Amino acid sequence: MNPIFSVRDITKFYGNQKGCEGVSFDLYPGEVLGIVGESGSGKSTLLNVISGQLEPDQGDVLFDTRHAGMVSTTAMAEPERRMLARTDWAYVHQNPRDGLRMAVSAGGNIGERLMNIGARHYGDIRETASGWMGRVELDTGRIDDRPSTFSGGMQQRLQIARNLVTGPRLIFMDEPTGGLDLSVQARLLDLLRNLVRELGLAVIIVTHDLAVVRMLAHRVMVMQRGQVVESGLADQVLDDPQHPYSQLLVSSILQV
Amino acid sequence: MTDPSDTSLGDTPPEGTHDQDYNFAYLDEQTKRMIRRALLKGLAIPGYQVPFASREMPMPYGWGTGGVQVTSACLVPDDCIKVIDQGADDTTNAVSIRKFFERTAGVRTTEKTGEASLIQTRHRIPETPLEEGQILVYQVPIPEPLRFLEPRETETRKMHALEEYGLMHVKLYEDISSHGHISTAYAYPVSVEERYVMDPSPIPKFDNPKMHQCPAVQLFGAGREQRIYALPPYTDVVSLDFEDHPFTRLRNDGVCGLCGADDTYLDEVIMDDEGTRMFVCSDTDYCATRIEEAAE
Ligand SMILES: Nc1ncnc2c1ncn2[C@@H]1O[C@H](COP(=O)(O)OP(=O)(O)OP(=O)(O)O)[C@@H](O)[C@H]1O
Ligand SMILES: [Mg+2]
Ligand SMILES: [Zn+2]
C-alpha cells in the first residue's frame, strides 16, 4: 500500500525561535497518527505547516490526490491548496469557535462545505446536514439553532460533522478534546473512533493527553523541543517507551 | 469655499454655464482622471471592486458621496442629468445633488428617465427601460457582499480572487431556514458574467432583473468604503438562488392608486390622519408620465 500523505524533513523557525525541525513521516490510508509532547514542543507548528496553513522553511509535504497521485502541497498554487482544504482535507480546531461560524445555524455550518463545492439544492443540503447531525449524535431538531446555544461538547461534534460532510480522506486535529469535561471527552473520543473506522479516514491528531493516543492512534510520534525523539506503534511506545523523554511522559501520566 | 449645494448663496448661474468658483463638476481634473481610471478598470472587469482614493465632498457620507464623485468624473457639458432617491426626484437628497451639479457643472436636469443621459440613483432602478448611451450611477453604502458572514477583508478579497462564493449561499440558506423562503429583499447578491459576485446596492430585488443585459452603462460608487465597480452594457447579471428556491421578484401585491399600474414597484403611503393607506409607484416620473398619457 502507498502512503496517502508523506512529510519529508520539515523545518519551521519563527525568527530564531525553533518551531519544529527535520520532521519526516508517512501516513497510510485509514491510519491514525498521534503527535504528543509537552507544551511548546512544536506540535501545532508541525500541524499548521503540514496542513498548508504555515509555510515551511525547508522540507516537503506530499498528498495522494485523486486526480494526479502524489503531489507536493507546498509547491501547489494557493487556489488548488484551498480547494484541497475544502474537500479532501479537514481541520478540527481545539476551540470550536475557530472552526465554526457562530452566527450561522448548525445546518448552515454543516452545509457550508457542500455549498463551497457547488451544492445548490436547499432541500438536499438540509437533508445531508440533518443526517450528519444524527451521525455525530446531535439532536436533529436543533438544526436551525446557532452553535452559541450548544455546549462545548456539542460544538465540537458539530465541528466534526461540518468537516466530514464532504467526505475528506485526511483529517488534522489539534487537541480536539482539550477543554472538555472528562465524561464529554470520553464520549467524543468514542464517536471519533467509530467515525474514523467506518469512513477509513487517515488522521493526524495532536494532543498532550496520552489517553487520547491510547484510544485512537495506531502510531505515535513523541516530540521534544521541535524534534521527533521517538515514534512507533502506539501500544509499543506507551507500554515500553525507549527515549528518556517518552519514558518521562508516560510515567508522569501513570502517576496521575 | 462655500457649500455649492446651498443655492441660497446666490443665483443659479445662467443655463449652460457653471459657477466659475468651481472646477467643472466640482472635482479637479486630476481627481477626475483618477476616478475615470478606476471606472475603466471596473468596466474591464465587470463586478470587480476597484479601490479608489475617495475625496471629501461638501456633503456627509451616506448622502451619496461615492455616486457624486462617479457622476462628477463622467459629466460633460452636454449632459442632462436626473437624480432619484428611492425612485423619487423630489426628496431632499435628490434635489440637493441635482442642484449641486446644476451649480457646479451647469448641466441641464430632467425628471424624465428617457431624456436623461446620466441618472444618479439611490436604491432604485427606473421603471422605464434604460437605453444605449445612458449611464446609471448607483450610490453604494456597503460594496462587499460577503461582509455579512466574513468581516475580514483580507479573506473576502481572497474569496473573490479564487471565486470561493459558497458563503453567499450560506446566507441564503440561513434566510430560508429561518423564514421558509429567501427573505433578502434588498441588496440581493448577483453573479456577474459567472465570475464576480456583486452587491447591487440596496435596490429592491424587484429591480435585479433590470441589470441583466441592460443596454446602459451601470456604475457603482461607494464613497466611505472607497470602492468603484461597474457593469458595461449587455452584461449577464444573475441573482443567486437555489434550484428548489428560485429567485423571485418581490413587490407589494396591488395596483398604483394614482396611475393604475399593476407591474411597478409600489410604496405604501399614508393618505390622511385616519391612516388611510394607498399604494403608489415608487418611480414618481414613471407614474406621472402614465397619468399625463392617460389624460391625453
Ligand atoms: N507565532 C509564533 N511566533 C513565534 N514563536 C512561536 C509562534 N508559535 C509558536 N512559537 C514557538 O514555537 C515553539 C513550538 O510551539 P507550538 O505552538 O508548535 O507548540 P505546541 O507543542 O503546539 O504547544 P502547546 O501544547 O502549548 O499547544 C514554541 O517555542 C513556541 O513558543
Ligand atoms: Mg499547540
Ligand atoms: Zn403609478
Instruction: Compute the average pLDDT of residues A75-85.
Output: 90
Strands B118-122 and B135-139: parallel
What confidence score (pLDDT) does residue B2 get? Answer: 53
Q: How far is A63 from chain B (nearest CA, A)?
A: 21
The pTM of this model reads 0.90
Contact between B166 and A113 using a beta-carbon 8 Å cutoff: yes
What is the amino acid identity at position B78?
Answer: D
Which ligand 1 atom sits closest to the C-alpha of A37? 21
Parallel, antiparallel, or unpaired for β B50-51 and B190-192? unpaired
d(CA A34, CA A53): 19
C-alpha span between A62 and A44 (Å, rounded): 19
| Residues in chain A within 8 Å Cβ distance of B169 | 115, 119-120
DSSP 8-state assignment for residue A161: H
Any A CB within 8 A of B245 CB: yes
The answer to whether B287 is a known catalytic residue is yes
Beta bridge partners of A25: A7
Task: Return the amino acid letter for B73.
Answer: A
pLDDT, tens only, A137-174: 999 999 999 999 999 999 999 999 999 999 999 999 99
Which residues of chain B are within 8 Å of residue A116 when distances are taken between CB atoms?
Answer: 164, 166-167
Task: Divide the 296 residues of chain B into consecutive groups of 10 and give the mean pLDDT of each group.
Answer: 54 74 91 98 98 90 90 97 96 94 95 98 97 98 93 94 94 96 96 98 97 98 96 98 96 94 95 91 97 92
**Length, in residues, of chain A:** 256
Neighbours of B217 (CB within 10 A): 21
**What residue type is assigned to position A102 of the chain?**
M
- Give pLDDT, residue B208: 98
Three cell numbers at A206? 495532536
- The CA–CA distances, whole Å, from A9 to A12, A25, A57, A237 equal 10, 9, 10, 22
The residue with greater pLDDT, A180 or B43, is B43
Q: How many CB pairs lie under 8 A apart between chains A and B?
A: 56
pLDDT tens per residue, range B110-140: 999 999 999 999 999 999 999 999 999 999 9
CB-ligand 1 contact for A37 (6 Å cutoff): yes
Cβ–Cβ < 8 Å for B39, B125: no
Q: What pLDDT is recorded for position B224? A: 94
Distance in angstroms (rounded) separating the CA atoms of residues A46 and B20: 67
Q: Given the C-alpha cell 409600489, which residue does it identify?
A: B266
